[in-house]
Amino acid sequence: MTSSLTRNNAEIFPGTKSFSKINKVLDVPDLIDVQKESFDWFTKKGLTDLFEEISPIEDNQGQNSRFSLKFVDHDFEAPNFSEEDCRSQEKTFDAS
First to last CA, the chain: 60
Cis check: omega of the bond before 56, within 30 degrees of 0:
yes
Q: Are 84 and 90 in contact (CB under 8 A)?
A: no
* Helix H or strand E segment including 69: strand 68-69
For the segment 5-57, what is each residue's pLDDT rounded down to a tens digit?
Answer: 555 566 667 777 777 777 777 788 899 999 999 999 999 999 999 999 998 88
Q: Buried (b) or exposed (e) across 5-27, using 16+ Cβ within 10 A? A: ebeeeeeeeeeeeeeeeeeeeee
pLDDT single digits (tens) 43-95: 999 999 999 999 888 887 667 778 888 988 888 888 888 999 999 998 888 87
Burial of 92 (0-12, 13-18, 19+ CB in 10 A): exposed
